């Protein structure tokens, strides 16, 4: 299996070029569901230790159904499928350019939640025009054991987010463990109290939002991804969800640049235009670098060929 590894603002992407499973026909959303329903071992083997780690996101190239799209990509992490992934879209565009498969300029990429625009501005920089984002509910209160009442917004940015300014610790690397523990407890409380996204969709991302720590930033965040890994980048879909909330509150006008910092200090530059159904179409610009070009081997005799998971091997 040939892969190209990259990172966008510190967050890794593994682009799978060949050797993936046959997902059959149908829409990209159907094939994404089929990937994790029928090929869970593939997802774990590609991303989990010993070949990867829990913060890595996979990007599987598949045949397109949208003739206007330069490529079609299914995103997933070791826990499950992702609808859209901003950092991985930037990483995919930069990786395809590295391979000579994508020229500088404007393109479209097909994802399970819709086709997105990608402007490859330089060899290592791309701007993604995301699917429409919107705030679903504002000022939602949830009781979290050991933390008390926490209030925040529920928003869609390509994945479902609970965004809150009730930050349990400084948004720095030194406090990642505390932030992770608090975010996991908050996500569990949301599920237990029946607080969901639209149509009962599970809220699988938690976003703590606080003031910036640089002169150029407008805000800093910590984002818990599905599972227990945190986003090293400012999280593209999470930043789009943040813009949807800012727009809904009248705190950010269309076209005005918003600089979002991550917990490690990397940044995205964002702006938005009004969406067709009342939300926002966010553009997320960031920098990615290719870190590896490799062939992954899966020896049938390897007891960890499907990755190190919660199931022990005897």
For residues 286 and 189, what is the distance between their CA atoms, to the nearest angstrom?
Answer: 33
For residues 78 and 42, what is the distance between their CA atoms, to the nearest angstrom?
Answer: 10
Q: Is 85 a catalytic residue?
A: yes
Q: How many residues does the chain have?
A: 314
Catalytic residue (choose from 43, 85, 225, 245): 85
Q: Is 235 a catalytic residue?
A: yes
**Pairing assessment for the beta strands 148-156 and 160-164 based on DSSP bridges:** antiparallel
Instruction: Provide the sign of the torsion angle of the four alpha carbons 290, 115, 153, 80, taken in this order.
Output: negative
For residues 138 and 248, what is the distance between their CA atoms, to the nearest angstrom?
Answer: 9
Catalytic residue (choose from 43, 225, 235, 245): 235
- The owner of tokens 């994802």 is 111
For residues 83 and 158, what is the distance between their CA atoms, to the nearest angstrom?
Answer: 6
Contact 42, 60 (CB under 8 A): no
Residue 4 sits at φ, ψ, to 5 deg, of: -120, 125
For residues 143 and 190, what is the distance between their CA atoms, to the nearest angstrom?
Answer: 8
**Pairing assessment for the beta strands 258-261 and 267-274 based on DSSP bridges:** antiparallel
**Which pair of tokens denotes residue 232?**
């090293």
Contact 79, 227 (CB under 8 A): yes
**Could you give the count of Cα atoms lying within 13 Å of 40 in the half-sphere of its Cβ?**
5
**Could you give the count of Cα atoms lying within 13 Å of 86 in the half-sphere of its Cβ?**
35
Which residues form the catalytic set? 85, 235
């Amino acid at each position: 299996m040939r892969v190209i590894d990259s990172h966008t603002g510190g967050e890794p992407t593994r682009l799978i070029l060949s050797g993936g499973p046959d997902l059959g026909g149908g829409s990209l959303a159907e094939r994404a569901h089929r990937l994790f329903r029928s090929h869970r071992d593939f997802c774990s083997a590609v991303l989990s230790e010993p070949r990867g780690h829990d913060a890595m996101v996979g990007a599987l190239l598949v045949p397109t159904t949208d003739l206007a799209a330069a490529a079609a990509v299914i995103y997933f992490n070791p826990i499950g499928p992702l609808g859209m992934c901003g950092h991985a879209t930037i990483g995919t565009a930069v990786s395809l350019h590295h391979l000579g498969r994508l020229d500088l300029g404007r393109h479209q990429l097909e994802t399970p939640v819709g086709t997105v625009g990608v402007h490859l501005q330089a060899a290592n920089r791309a701007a993604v025009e995301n699917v429409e984002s919107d705030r679903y509910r504002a000022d939602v209160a949830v009781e979290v054991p050991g933390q008390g009442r926490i209030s925040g917004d529920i928003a869609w940015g390509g994945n479902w987010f609970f965004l809150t300014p009730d930050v349990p610790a400084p948004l720095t690397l030194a406090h990642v463990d505390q932030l992770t523990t608090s975010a996991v407890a908050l996500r569990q409380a949301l599920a237990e109290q029946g607080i969901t996204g639209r149509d009962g969709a599970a809220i699988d991302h938690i976003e703590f939002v606080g003031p910036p720590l640089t002169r150029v930033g407008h805000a800093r965040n910590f984002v818990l991804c599905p599972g227990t890994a945190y986003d090293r980048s400012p999280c593209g879909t999470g930043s789009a969800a943040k813009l949807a909330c800012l727009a809904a509150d009248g705190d950010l006008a269309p076209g005005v640049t918003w600089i979002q910092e991550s917990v490690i200090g990397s940044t995205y530059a964002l702006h938005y235009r009004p969406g067709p159904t009342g939300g926002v179409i966010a553009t997320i610009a960031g920098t990615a670098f290719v870190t590896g070009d490799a062939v992954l081997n899966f020896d049938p005799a390897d007891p960890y060929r499907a990755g190190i998971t919660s199931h022990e091997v005897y």
